[in-house]
Amino acid sequence: MVKAITDQNFTEETKDGVVLIDFWATWCGPCRMQSPVVEELDDDMGDQVKFTKMDVDENPETAQNFNIMSIPTLMIKKDGEVVEQLVGYTPKEKLEQVLDQYL
């Protein structure tokens, strides 16, 4: 299951290994399309990648710090550093290819 994270625990939860953060909101249609893709990849790759999600309405500080202007935005961090950012719906195959680069 994809772990929901907050402004308060963002740094701690995303500091080690490869982490995908799904920035989303409940009212966002493309976010609702992206969510099952992220869940499926968590099932497939959860032993190699930590999958997280952050509701931008409930946690505006982190989204603001990273200049998240559109959602869904998928951010990939490796060992605490942002290495990739994908804006808009990203199909499973593309997301898998991107993640594989950082494993």
What's the confidence (pLDDT) of residue 12? 97
Catalytic residue from among 2, 19, 21, 28: 28
Q: Where are the domains of the chain?
A: 3-96
> Does the active-site annotation cover 52?
no
* Band (93; pLDDT cuts 50, 70, 90): very high
28 assigned to active site:
yes
**The predicted structure's pLDDT at residue 16:** 97
pLDDT tens-digit profile of 14-68? 999 999 999 999 999 999 999 999 999 999 999 999 999 999 999 999 999 999 9
What was the pLDDT predicted at 19? 98
Question: Can you list the pairs that 83-86 forms with residues at least 24 positions away whose Cβ atoms lie under 8 Å?
Answer: none
* Distance from C-alpha of 87 to C-alpha of 78, rounded to nearest angstrom: 18
CB 75 within 8 A of CB 34: no
Q: Specify the pTM.
A: 0.96
> Hey, how many other C-beta atoms are within 10 angstroms of the C-beta on 55?
19
Both structure tokens of 57: 């309405």
Superfamily of domain 3-96: Glutaredoxin (3.40.30.10)
> DSSP for 10-66?
HHHHTSSSEEEEEEE-TT-HHHHHHHHHHHHHHHHHTTTEEEEEEETTT-HHHHHHT
Catalytic residue among 19, 31, 54, 75: 31
